[in-house]
Structure 1
Amino acid sequence: MEHGVLIPPVYSPISPAIHPRHQLINQQTADWARNFRIGSPELREKLIGHDIGTFAARILPGGDEEVISLLADFVLWLFGVDDGHCEEGELGTDPKQLVPELSRLLRIAQNPEVSMLTEDSLAAGLRDLRRRMDQRATPGQVARWVDALREYFLSVVWEASHRNEGTVPGLNDYTLMRLYDGATSVVMPLLEMGYGYELQPHERDSTPVRAAAEMAYFVITWDNDLFSHHKESRGQQYYLNVLRVLEHHHGLAPEDALDTAVAQRDRVMCLFLRMCAGLNASGSPQLRQYLESLGSFIRAAQDWGISSHRYTTPEDPADLPTTFRDTPTDDSTEPLGIPAVAWWWDAVPDEPAPVLAQSAQPAEVGTGTGLPRLPVTDRLAAVGNRSRTRA
């Protein structure tokens, strides 16, 4: 799909918000990246220009400033690993070399005092992140952060195997691994830390709450695939993207692949709203805060995705939307037909979606909504059926 498609405004029923000290946080993250020499000089300055501090300030708009700075530094570090080692570095096509390198970094995350990678800037940055986390997090939160980092590392090795072989995964495998390689789950402990609580296991590990978190991962990563497609498809490196998966394995034209992906994320967004409505009715105050933070994470990724130079690529401008729409293109309550995530629909209370009265427009990036588009339920069903035959 190298010739590109026009990304439409996406459905966004969640209000925007940002921490009032976002500019200072963004500058502090730039200073941190330079102090720890994250990535090559060229990559470092590019990452600094992506305004990652404002992204973190949107994720935790009412959170503790120190945790927001920690989150911003961590996200920049993740991009240093992903861009430097995986997507653009030599290790990104060599899984056998990537595994031990990431395993060494994982050991640093587990035990920052170990005498390993003492001259490595990414390891030095990770040591700093872990030590700062120890000052703010409970042992359980740290353990979950390390476990999520392991999941992320495993998924980028999977990506490297496809780069090495030049293959495109099927929709089910792509959906499953996208839950991890988007580095969304590693943010979850910081959502709790930012507001000074720890969600109890009987709530966090319950099937409905796990499903709600995964729905948020799905919407965030599908949106990222839409916003990043221009950048990825014009690069010289192999790339993985849901639009490429749909076109390659399901024989869809570029415009139909785009419509299908948008409808998939819209259907999951509607499901997320229904799930949160049900959980909020009986959940603890901590669970309600957690669910609100999941929504903030979704909206933060949207606002940042259509405004950051990482995706607008001023040197080769991407024609991204500057507004959002108030209505979904697909609000069906039927599962997508992707085996890895079909269980989400069984976990949601059987009740109507809440009526949203608030505007879905961003605070800084524009007003007005996109024109409604026709649902593509039939196309989704066809893709889902083909997906089941490949599972």
Structure 2
Amino acid sequence: MVETEFPRHLHPHWPKLQENSRAWLLEKRLMPPDKVAAYADGLCYTDLVAGYYIGASDELLEAIADLSSWFFGWDDRHDRDAVHGRTAQWRRLCQGLHRTLEHPREHLDHPDPLVAGFADCVLRLYGNLGPRWNARFARHFHPVIDAYDHEFGNRRNGTVPGVAAYVELRRLTFAHWVWIDLLEPTARCELPDAVRKHPAYRAAALATQDFSAWYNDLCSLPKELAGDEVHNLGISLIQHEGMSLQEAVAEVHRRVSDCVRDFLAVEPEVLRLAAGLNDGSARGEELGNAVHSCLFNMRNWFSSVYWFHHESGRYRVESWDDQTLPPYVSDTAAPEFPGARTAGTPGIALAETDPSGGEE
């Protein structure tokens, strides 16, 4: 269905993006030089983003690509800190990320590479649309950090969330609304609330993100079973619905397919929204064109996510010497630094999150 309905696109800056991403990973010390040389290109992180945000300026695309690469590195740190019980280090990282969203410039030289790298990405992204968009981006990213912290506790306790709770949590750990926010600077237009919160626009956006999250769960299930992970839709279905592995895979596949159908069903309504906004005025034309851009790139999520998971070395667990430790991951702890605080970060209040994927 994806191959038929969603042609693949790549931003023309992609070849340079790949080269610059390798340099950024080295500069920010997010991967050791030997792992960058051996694995960075094969992980295909830049391919993923270069297919998401067609029309972005080269500078913006590089900032988004670096954020995406950073996100994978953060996810890997989360896994290794949980495996080794590095609770204090993990809590310091969460604190640093929360503070960085509010004051990125102050954290550019932070001793933890993940905090400093995040600060660099956030500062570059904040230079595109202005204070209101920046504040929204931060408002949407704070719960992502808290959701990862919630998962850290689950992992340490061996708690597999129930299916409904996991669906809710996954929409945060996948950062649904963050990636949707980034459609706007790509279109060079901040959308008003009436457009962003239009039911058709939200439904289309949510379908693309749920597809991406569930397809990731489908493809990463062997990797996460090998690593004793507890956060995967398939694992929740096995644990709480009594499904066999084969039944769980079939159910995740069904949900993935439903997301595609949901998007195709609502897409014409989003096109009508764009046409209605274009009332002949300069502002109307700008908004109509921006919605078209956002919808086009929502479409691109399907093909980009699909091909990424087939091409990236991130999920080829069968080829690893140690299936519990991906070869591209460094298993070292975060650096210690003077004056580090170890108090816990606030836990996420999952009950306050709209299970339909709603945002503030």
Q: Which TM-score bucket, shorter chain as reference?
A: 0.7 to 0.9
Aligned pairs for 1:167-178 within 5 A:
167-178=159-170
92 and 183 in structure 1: CA distance in 2 versus 1, 3 angstrom threshold? farther
Q: For residue 336 of structure 2, what is the aligned residue in structure 1? A: none
What is the distance in 1 between the residues matched to 2:107 and 2:13? 37
What is the distance in 2 between the residues matched to 1:161 and 1:51? 30
Alpha-carbon distance, 1:112 to partner: 1.8
Aligned pairs for 1:231-250 within 5 A:
231-235=223-227, 237-250=228-241
What is the distance in 2 between the residues matched to 1:69 and 1:186? 16
SS at match of 1:113: helix
Q: 2:105 touches 2:123 (CA, 8 Å); kept in 1? A: no
Instruction: Give aligned-pair identity as a percent.
Output: 22
Q: 1:137 touches 1:193 (CA, 8 Å); kept in 2? A: yes
1:68 aligned to 56, 61, 64, which one?
61
Q: For residue 348 of structure 2, what is the aligned residue in structure 1? A: none
- Letter of the 1:280 counterpart: L
Q: 2:176 touches 2:206 (CA, 8 Å); kept in 1? A: no
User: Which range moves more in the overlay, 246-255 or 180-189?
Assistant: 180-189
Q: 1:216 touches 1:298 (CA, 8 Å); kept in 2? A: yes
What is the distance in 2 between the residues matched to 1:118 and 1:342? 33
225 and 291 in structure 1: CA distance in 2 versus 1, 3 angstrom threshold? same
What is the distance in 1 between the residues matched to 2:23 and 2:107? 26
49 and 129 in structure 1: CA distance in 2 versus 1, 3 angstrom threshold? same
What is the distance in 1 between the residues matched to 2:24 and 2:130? 24
2:297 aligned to 293, 297, 310, which one?
293
What is the distance in 2 between the residues matched to 1:186 and 1:18? 21
Q: 1:92 touches 1:98 (CA, 8 Å); kept in 2? A: no
Q: For residue 128 of structure 1, what is the aligned residue in structure 2? A: 120
What is the distance in 1 between the residues matched to 2:41 and 2:26? 9
Q: 1:74 touches 1:129 (CA, 8 Å); kept in 2? A: yes
Q: For residue 355 of structure 2, what is the aligned residue in structure 1? A: 340
Alpha-carbon distance, 1:152 to partner: 1.1
Matched, 1:56 2:71: no
Q: 1:215 touches 1:272 (CA, 8 Å); kept in 2? A: yes
SS at match of 2:319: coil
TM-score by length of 2: 0.78
Q: 2:154 touches 2:230 (CA, 8 Å); kept in 1? A: no
Alpha-carbon distance, 1:214 to partner: 2.0
94 and 341 in structure 1: CA distance in 2 versus 1, 3 angstrom threshold? farther
What is the distance in 2 between the residues matched to 1:253 and 1:210? 34
TM-score by length of 1: 0.72
Q: 1:27 touches 1:53 (CA, 8 Å); kept in 2? A: no
Alpha-carbon distance, 1:19 to partner: 1.4
Alpha-carbon distance, 1:59 to partner: 0.7
1:282 aligned to 273, 278, 282, which one?
273
User: Which range moves more in the overlay, 61-70 or 241-250?
Assistant: 61-70
- Letter of the 1:270 counterpart: R
User: Which range moves more in the overlay, 96-105 or 106-115?
Assistant: 96-105
92 and 112 in structure 1: CA distance in 2 versus 1, 3 angstrom threshold? farther
Alpha-carbon distance, 1:304 to partner: 0.8
Structure 2 runs not aligned, ≥5 long = 275-287, 324-353
Q: 1:145 touches 1:189 (CA, 8 Å); kept in 2? A: yes
Structure 1 runs not aligned, ≥5 long = 1-8, 319-338, 344-391
1:260 aligned to 251, 259, 278, which one?
251
